[in-house]
Amino acid sequence: MKLSLSNGIFCKLRLDGNLTAVKQLGFQNIEFNMKSIKKEHDTDVYREQKALAASGLNCLTLHSAVMHVKDPIEVHQAVYYGKISLECARALHAPLMTVHSNVSKKLPRQVRERCLREVFDEITPFAKSLGIKLALENLSYTSTGFGKNVEQLEEVLDVIDPDGKMGITFDLCHALETKEMDNLLDAYGRRVCNVHMANKAHKPFTQETPELTRFLNKLHDCGYEGPITLELEHKTPMEEIAKSKALFEKLLKKY
């Protein structure tokens, strides 16, 4: 398993300062979160490419810009966010992009299905043409999006991924908040290709807990060797990030 940091935590900084902060903490790998890019710059992927190259960091994964569509009129905007994120993933040589379902949990089922289909009918073939794998993330009950448990994720995957090619980004914080960790692991353990690692409320783990140990053991039993991406709340102090990094460096030696 490979330790990584989501740079979304430094999204308030300018891009060069953002990546410098990641480096100063001693990380080698990042998940590039699209919220690190200001909207007016979102089409200038070469800026990001240059900044990443200058930092020497590896971009293992990219977190798509996301819009949880609450009306079919917003489908085009969600598609735009998805495609511009894929362009950025290509520029940063990220082989994997984390996506949400892109639909609001408030939509009635039939409309939800239509919006899901319309969004992913555009995004999926574009990702395929760029050779980028998509990984659907499990959400928390606090999210405006749809897809917090196995039942909801199955509904989404039935529509957008009938061939079972899509990966899963397992967000442990969300799984703990919804108390779905074991169910999600049982259903998707072998499809996981990215992990968002944090305790509830995106607080950093600074010591081992029984749930964390169980999670890592189960993931290891599924043969998981991908990123462990620390995805932390943006007010997390630097010392706490450093403590969490040290904990995972120690823990991951076992796997």
Site for Zn ion, rule CB under 5 A:
171, 196, 231
Q: Least distance in Å: CB of 50 to Zn ion?
A: 27
Nearer to Zn ion, 180 or 231 (CB): 231
Q: Which helix (H) or strand (E) holds 252?
A: helix 238-252
Rounded CA-CA distance 101/124 in Å is 12
**Shortest Å, Cβ 63 to Zn ion:** 7
Q: Which is nearer to Zn ion, 30 or 118 (CB)?
A: 30
Run of H or E including 53: helix 45-55
Sequence-distant (6+) residues with CB within 8 A of 120 are 102, 159, 160, 161
Nearer to Zn ion, 196 or 245 (CB): 196
Closest approach, Cβ 147 to Zn ion, in A, equals: 12
DSSP characters for 182-194? HHHHHHHGGGEEE
Nearer Cβ to Zn ion, position 118 or 143?
A: 143
DSSP string, 119-148: HHHHHHHHHHHHT-EEEEEP--TTSSBS--
Q: How far is the CB of 110 from Zn ion (least distance, A)?
A: 28
CB of 169 to Zn ion, least distance (A): 7
Contact indicator for 7, 31 with CB cutoff of 8 Å? yes
Q: Which is nearer to Zn ion, 116 or 147 (CB)?
A: 147
Of 60 and 118, nearer to Zn ion (C-beta) is 60
Instruction: Determine the residue type at 155.
Output: E
Tell me how far, at minimum, the Cβ of 1 lies from Zn ion, in Å: 17
Q: Which of 117, 177, 123 is nearest to 149 (CA)?
A: 177
Tell me the residue number closest to Zn ion, measured at CB.
196
